[in-house]
Amino acid sequence: MKPIEIIGGGVAGLSLGIALRTRGVPVTLREAATYPRHRLCGEFINGVSQATLDKLGVAPFLHDAGQEQRTRWWREDRLLLERHLVRPARTLSRWRMDARLADGFKQLGGDLRVAERAEPSGGEGCVRATGRRHHRGSDWMGLKAHFTGVGGVDGLEMHLGEGGYVGLAAVEDGRVNVCGLFHRRQGLAGKGAGKLLAYLEACGLTNLVNRLQAADADERSLTGVSGVVFGKQTGGGFSIGDAERIIPPFTGNGMSMAFEAAECALDPLVAWAGGDLAWPEAEALASRAMEKRFSARMHWARALQGLLMKKAGRQLLDGLAAPGLIPFAYLNRRLT
């Protein structure tokens, strides 16, 4: 079979590599960083089906992931809703997950080359899974850190504030992942995890700040990105995961989409490797499959994020919350 090169060793790239190796396809995967490592991520998988995980061959790597059945949403310091999720969300840190997937890929005979930065050639046999790119015109930034000793975490938490929002998910070893998206602000004091707390305070999330100040931050886990844009990404070539499109993180659907994108690419790539499909046709089939699977949820997610970031939208949410009229189950189905 013809070999495939994957540039980028996140969830999408590693899961695709594992799936290709189980089908006998030679795969070289190049990753700029090393494992294990912390990455900006909500660290829970919301929406992916068991059938997708089984097809990719990655389900065994999630065997001990946490299972969260419900979520709670706050607007600043006011609890808006408590609901059961349509599907349980799996929780596992990227520190642990990526390292497991990398080891699994190598055990299957994959050629993993770490600390090796490479630009996708755009030619036949090359798949871009390089993640987010920096866009200078965007003022969105993300910050994430792990905390231990955080009280009151019961299920997935989402906190909406002025100019940003943050999610909490309990992962392994008593850690809580705190990951937020914010409009960039000038002049905020604080370094390390203190920078994250400063952003939370600026958003009006005082009670959450107090909870985190009473906990212990793992400064090594602090991760940040800037210049994020949502929707289809530029870059060209055969792309999957965040290199192809990025969904607003309040959905908790980013890792699920990474697995699903790998699934969309799998069969066309196997057909190309076996000589049954030309490269442009394989790329087109994968692209159409991702568009069919993701376009509707991306539309809903971008519209709802725009609403949540407006004061009038948050006030509307308040009004719907009081009589229990927020259509959470309906929206959860549309966004996953």
> For residue range 41-100, what is the model confidence (pLDDT) as tens digits?
999 999 899 999 999 999 999 999 999 999 999 998 899 999 988 888 999 999 999 999
- What pLDDT is recorded for position 86? 83
Q: Report helix, strand or coil for 159.
A: strand
4-66+89-134+229-309: which CATH number, 3.40.50.720, 3.30.70.20, 3.50.50.60, 3.40.50.80? 3.50.50.60
The helix/strand count (H/E) of the chain reads as 9, 15
- The C-alpha atoms of residue 275 and residue 251 are separated, in whole angstroms, by 39
- What pLDDT is recorded for position 332? 83
Q: What is the enclosing helix (H) or strand (E) of 287?
A: helix 279-308
Question: Mean pLDDT across the stretch 144-172?
Answer: 95
Mean pLDDT of the chain: 93
pLDDT surpasses 90 at 182:
yes
Q: What is the pTM of this model?
A: 0.95
62 DSSP assignment? G
- What pLDDT is recorded for position 234? 76
Percentage of the residues of the chain whose pLDDT score is greater than 70:
100
Q: What is the enclosing helix (H) or strand (E) of 146?
A: strand 140-148
- Measured over the CA atoms of residue 149, residue 62, residue 293 and residue 26, the dihedral's sign is positive
Question: Mean pLDDT across the stretch 169-176?
Answer: 96
Distances from the Cα of 55 to the Cαs of 18, 126, 245, 259, in angstroms? Answer: 10, 22, 22, 10
Percentage of the residues of the chain whose pLDDT score is greater than 90:
75
255 class by beta-carbon count within 10 Å (0-12 exposed, 13-18 middle, 19+ buried): buried
- Phi and psi, residue 15, nearest 5°: -70, -35
Distances from the Cα of 299 to the Cαs of 46, 249, 335, in angstroms? Answer: 18, 14, 9
Asked if 205 and 161 touch (Cβ cutoff 8 Å), the reply is yes
| Beta pairing, strands 175-183 & 140-148 | antiparallel
pLDDT surpasses 80 at 119:
no
Lowest-confidence pick of 35-39, 52-56, 118-122, 151-155: 118-122
Q: What tokens does 163 get?
A: 């100019």
300 class by beta-carbon count within 10 Å (0-12 exposed, 13-18 middle, 19+ buried): middle
- What pLDDT is recorded for position 288? 97
Sheet of 4-7, strand order: 111-113, 27-30, 4-7, 126-128, 238-239
Binned at pLDDT 50, 70 and 90, residue 164 comes out as very high
pLDDT surpasses 90 at 32:
yes
pLDDT tens-digit series, residues 256-302: 999 999 999 999 999 999 999 999 999 999 999 999 999 999 999 99
Least Cα distance to 166 among 149, 151, 183 occurs for 183
Q: Where are the domains of the chain?
A: 4-66+89-134+229-309
